[in-house]
Structure 1
Amino acid sequence: MGILEDNIAMGESSIYSKNQLRIRTKRRRKRTSIEARDKKLIRLYKEEKELRKRKYNLPMIDLSPPIQKGYKRFFVVREDVKRSKMGSFYENLLQKINTFQYSSTKIFKKKAKRKGKKVLVDIEQKLSVIYPHELKKLKLDERQLNCFEYKIVLEVLGKTIREKHFYEFKEPWRYVLRIRPNMIDKVKAFDSELEQRIAELDTILYENHKNNGRLIKMKGWSRYIYKNQERCINPLKNKSLNQIIKDFE
C-alpha cells in the first residue's frame, strides 16, 4: 500500500507540475492581450462618462457684478399690437416661438461672397417653427394653433429627399427684432483637474482612431453610412486605350 500511495502522489505532483509549467500558445497570448486592452478601453470609457456627469452637475456661481458678453437679438411684440386687446395673447405666444441670436457687436452680419468678393450681409432671423412632436410639450390651445399654418416641404439631403412637416406662424409682422446687451450673471463652476482628466481620456478614446474604432465595435454604435446612393461607375475602367478608341469610332 505504501508503494501504491507513493506512485499516486508522484502522479498527481507530475500532473500539477505539467499544468503549472504549461506554455501558452502564440494565439492564446494574442487573445489575452486583446481582451486586456478591451477591458481597459471599457474601463476608461466608464470613467470618462462618470467625469462628464460630474462636470454637468457642477453648480452655478453668481457673478457680482454681472459682465457683458456681446449682444443678443430677439423678437418682441410690436408696440401697436402690444397696446391692443390681443397684446397679452401674442406676448404669451411669443414665449413659445421666440428665437435668440448672439454677436460680439451690435451689427448682426456675416461674411459672404457676392460676385467673387467677400461682403457683409445681414444675418437672417425668423420665428421658430413648431414640429408635430412638439405640440404636446408646448401645450398650444386651439386658439393659438389657429395662428399657425401647417406646411410640408421637401428637404434634399445629398441624393435623399424627405418630407419636412411643421407649423409656421401666419403673421410674423406682429413681432419686431430688438438688440440688447447680453449680460451674464451666472457661470458654471470650473474644476481644472476634472477638465484635464476628461481631455486626457478624450485623446485616448476618440482622437486615437484605432481605439475609437474598437470602442464603436464593442459598444455597437452606428457609423455614418450613406445608403440609397447610386455608385458612380467609370465607363473607362479596365479598358485598354485601343478598346476605348474603337468604342468612340
Structure 2
Amino acid sequence: MMDYTTTAEESCSLHSFRIRCPRSRKRAVRADREKRLIKLENERTKLWYIKHHEVVYVPLDPPIQRGFKRSFVLGEEVACSAGAAFYQGILDKINTTLFQPDRFFLKKVRKNGKKKIPIPQYLLEPDTQRFLKQAFTEKEASLFYLSIPSNPRRRCGQEVWKFKEPWRFRLKIRPNFITEQRVEDTAVEQRLQEIRQIQADPKIFGRMENLKGRKVRIWGSRKWPRPYRSRTTTRQWLMELEKELLF
C-alpha cells in the first residue's frame, strides 16, 4: 500500500522554488536589455543638455575677427530727432543680423557662372503669436500692419506683422569680432562619443527607435507586415453591389 503521508518540506511544490521556464528567462533578459538601452539614452540626453546649455566661456584676448555682420541701425535724420529712443526700442525688437565671410554680401545666381546679386535682408516680421509675446506698447503696435511676408520663402499662407516705416532704418556693415572662447568638457565629449558608437549599431538603433514608438526597418530583418487586404476583388465587389441595388 502506498503511503500518501508526507512531511511539510516534501509537500512543497515546484512553484515555491520560483523556477522559471525558458520563455520567462528570455523575456527577463530582453526586458533587462531594454532597460539598459533606455538608461543609456537618458544619459545621452543629459550629457547633450550639459554640452549645449551649461557652457562656460572665457574672454578671448585679443579678439579674433571672423567675417562681417550686417544689421539695421537708425537713419541719420531719425537718430538726431526727438523720437530716436522710441524708434530704437522698436528696432531692438525687430532687428536682424546677417553674417558673411566678406563685406560685399553677394550670392551666386548661376551655378557655373559669375553672376552675383546682393543678398536681401528684411526686418523681423513676426506672426501673431510672436507679436503678442514681444509686448509692444499701444503706440508701437499702431505702426504695424498685417500683410504677407516680404521674404518669398516664408509665403506659406500665414500673415505676418510688418513695420509701416522701414525707411527710418538703414543697413550697416561691421566687422564680426569674437570676444569669448568656449571651454570644452573633454569628459562629457568622450562619454558622448562612446554612447554614439554603441548606438551606431543598426540593431541597437532600430530597437531604440521602436522603444520610442517609431517604426524602423533594418536591412536584412523581417519585412514590413503587409496591410490587410480583402479577398474580394473589385469586380466581385461591384457585382455584389449591383445585386443589393436590384433587391
Please give the TM-score of this superposition, normalised by the length of structure 1.
0.70
Is 2:133 the partner of 1:137?
Answer: yes
How many residues in Structure 1 have an aligned counterpart in Structure 2? Answer: 211
2:183 to 189, 212, 219: 189
What is the CA distance between 1:174 and its match in structure 2?
Answer: 1.3
Q: 1:77 aligns with which of 74, 77, 84?
A: 74
Aligned mates of 2:215, 2:135 — CA distance in 1: 34
After superposing on structure 2, the runs of 4+ consecutive aligned residues of structure 1 that deviate more than 4 Å are 3-8, 16-20, 207-210, 220-223
Match of 1:24 in 2: 22
Instruction: Call closer, same or farther: CA 1:142–1:208 in 2, change over 3 Å.
Output: farther
Q: CA deviation at 1:98?
A: 0.4
Q: Is the 8 A contact 2:131 2:161 kept in 1?
A: no
The answer (yes or no) to whether the contact 2:109–2:115 under 8 Å persists in 1 is: yes
Q: Alpha-carbon deviation of 1:173?
A: 1.5
Q: Distance in 1 between matches of 2:171 and 2:35?
A: 55
| Number of the residue aligned with 1:173 | 167
Could you report, residue by residue, the CA deviation over 1:69-116 in whole angstroms, capped at 9, with x for unpaired residues?
2111101111112112222221111101000011111121222327x7
More strand by share: 1
Q: Which residue identity lines up with residue 219 of structure 1 in the other structure?
A: K
SS in 2 for 1:173: helix
2:35 matched to which residue of 1? 39
**What is the CA-CA distance between 1:19 and the residue it aligns to?**
5.5
Q: TM-score, normalised by structure 2?
A: 0.71
Question: Aligned AA for 1:77?
Answer: L
One-letter amino acid of the counterpart of residue 22, structure 2: R
Which sections of structure 1, spanning at least 5 residues, go unmatched? 224-249
- Asked if 1:219 is matched to 2:198, the reply is no
Deviations 1:35-77 (A, max 9, x none): 2332122111110111122222132211122221211110111
Structure 2 Cα separation of the partners of residues 40 and 188 of structure 1: 33
Name the structure 2 match of 1:126.
122
**SS of aligned partner of 1:49:** helix
User: Secondary structure of the residue that 1:73 maps to in structure 2?
Assistant: strand
Partner residue of 1:151 out of 147, 153, 166: 147
SS in 2 for 1:43: helix
Distance in 1, matches of 2:18 and 2:211, equals 33
Please give the root-mean-square deviation of Cα atoms over the aligned residues, in Å.
Answer: 3.3
Partner Cα separation in structure 2 for residue 209 and residue 127 of structure 1: 45
**Which residue pairs with 2:87 in the alignment?**
90
